[in-house]
Amino acid sequence: MIETYRPRRSVLYVPASNDKALAKTSSLACDAVIIDLEDAVAPADKVAAREKLAGIFAKRPVANHNGRRCEMIVRINPLASEWGADDLLAALRSEPDAILLPKVDTPRDVLGAGDVLDDNFAPDEVKLWAMIETPKALLNIGPIAELGRDPASRLVCFVAGTNDLVKETGVLATPDRRYLTPWLMQMVLAARAGGLDLLDGVFNEFRDLDGFARECTEAAAMGFDGKSLIHPAQIDAANRAFAPSAEAVAEARSVKEAFALAENAGRQVIALNGKMVERLHLAQAEKLLAKAAAIGA
């Protein structure tokens, strides 16, 4: 069975306190935006930012330039903070596609937010996304990801919080991310085990578009579904890097065509252009083609 693919290649944080940035979002080609109430908003502005949510969602565009509806997510403050509970209630009144929970440490953090959502929405309505950005989240990542196997948990996506991970662990943030990579790969494994989407962390040097494109290419190779972004200039490179390449689409088509030949009906393994190809590659090819079709690649 081919799962429905929801592109999340480019997911842009927009501070709820930044009117200029908010005004720009409807014209952008990102797959999703995260309206941020957490780290992008100063403590003194948090209540005012929260009060703007209704107005922000009232202006929600029906479709972006691709004719697709851009997902809109709200990142609330941690539920244990003085703002978290009110953020969650205000966010729910705006009916976002998902709530992004920051500083998740344990499965209980996700289940607790889910309990609040259950009072208002069916599990297929508002979803939960979780930031993986604390040492405890990494230690508990298997059980957190496992929640993704139960639709009632609403959990559908992990977002790597590399800035907080660097802050909390003291690892050096090098351009090649050598000290972060083992944890990022742990996130990839856990997300796949739980059937979750997974977004890479942000690239802070937003004027360095070459460096950004390199990091996107690497993240796509590592298995991420997309990247979290901080600036509109980062959208195009992310959309490109996380879409199937023309070569990959052509190869997937040839695998599909080869298995469709009458002579290969019932065969589990075939030879194609000097390579062994199995039915598992056909499944992979069909998934890639569905992804390319959904993106319009």
- Which of 133, 197, 200, 215 is in the footprint of Mg ion by CB under 5 A? 133
Assess 84 for contact with ligand LIB3CWND (CB under 6 A): no
CA 210 to chain centre: 22
Q: Which of residues 229-258 bind ligand LIB3CWND (CB under 6 A)?
A: 230-232
Output phi, psi for 223, to 5 deg: 110, 5
Burial of residue 264, with CB atoms counted within 10 A of its CB: 0-12 exposed, 13-18 middle, 19 or more buried: middle
Longest dimension (CA), the chain: 70
Helix (H, G, I), strand (E, B) or coil at 84: helix
Annotated binding-site residue? 108: no
Assess 20 for contact with ligand LIB3CWND (CB under 6 A): yes
Window 97-126: contact mask with ligand LIB3CWND (x via CB under 6 A): ------------------------------
Assess 15 for contact with Mg ion (CB under 5 A): no
Cα(30)–Cα(131) distance, integer angstroms: 19
Q: In angstroms, what is the minimal distance from the CB of 202 to ligand LIB3CWND?
A: 5
- Which of 31, 71, 109, 133 is in the footprint of ligand LIB3CWND by CB under 6 A? 133
Assess 232 for contact with Mg ion (CB under 5 A): no
Q: Which two tokens stand for residue 77?
A: 């403050």
Q: In angstroms, what is the minimal distance from the CB of 166 to ligand LIB3CWND?
A: 8
For 102, 168, 197, the CA distances from 134, given in Å and listed in that order, are 9, 7, 19
- Which of 10, 64, 153, 162 is in the footprint of ligand LIB3CWND by CB under 6 A? 162
Are 271 and 277 contacting, i.e. CB atoms less than 8 angstroms apart?
A: yes
Assess 161 for contact with Mg ion (CB under 5 A): yes
CA 89 to chain centre: 23
Assess 164 for contact with Mg ion (CB under 5 A): yes
Give me the DSSP letters along 204-251.
S-TT-HHHHHHHHHHHHHHT-SEEEESSGGGHHHHHHHTSPPHHHHHH
Close Cβ partners of 123 (under 8 Å, ≥ 6 residues apart):
151, 152, 153, 154
Specify the residue, 234 or 289, whose C-beta has the smaller distance to ligand LIB3CWND.
Answer: 234
**Binding piece for ligand LIB3CWND, criterion CB under 6 A, among 50-58, 160-168, 179-187, 256-264:** 160-168
Binding site for Mg ion (CB under 5 A): 133, 161, 164
Binding site for ligand LIB3CWND (CB under 6 A): 12-15, 18, 20-21, 24-25, 36, 39-40, 131, 133, 161-164, 201-202, 206, 230-232
